[in-house]
Amino acid sequence: MSKALAAAALALGLGSHPTPARVGVSATEFHLTLSRPAVRAGVVEIELQNDGQDPHDLRVRRVGGSHTFSIPLVGPGNRRTVAIHVRPGRYRLWCSVANHAQLGMQATLRVKPS
């Protein structure tokens, strides 16, 4: 279990044995591709894999929500993971570098009740 996942699990009172959903996000110029379109509510590990030529980051926010989760810049060929707790709803994912989101680097993840 990753340190980030363990910290998220403890913060949520889940003990040390949560089974997180995993979502891979491939970033290329100028697209985000999700490994799956939906997950169940709870702890989710989101891994950003930069398959492009430019640095990219990732922002995640529940539609209608105000808190934004972030994965900082990831260089070409690298990856980084964040563990977050999600509630049912739709989540917008986007790259916040320059105008990448406007050029198509955005996606939607559905979160179903657990």
User: Is 30 buried (19+), middle (13-18) or exposed (0-12) by CB count in 10 A?
Assistant: middle
If DSSP codes are grouped into helix, strand and coil, which group holds residue 109?
Answer: strand
The string of pLDDT tens digits covering residues 87-109 is: 999 999 999 999 999 999 999 99
Q: How far is CA 30 from the centre of its chain?
A: 17
Starting at the edge strand found earlier in the chain, the sheet holding 42-50 runs 31-34, 21-28, 42-50, 79-86
pTM of the model: 0.83
Distance CA 64, CA 89 (A): 9
Pick the more confident residue, 29 or 10.
29
User: Residue ranges of the domains in the chain?
Assistant: 20-112
Cβ neighbours of 2 (radius 10 Å): 12
Class of domain 20-112: mainly beta
The string of pLDDT tens digits covering residues 61-76 is: 999 999 999 999 999 9
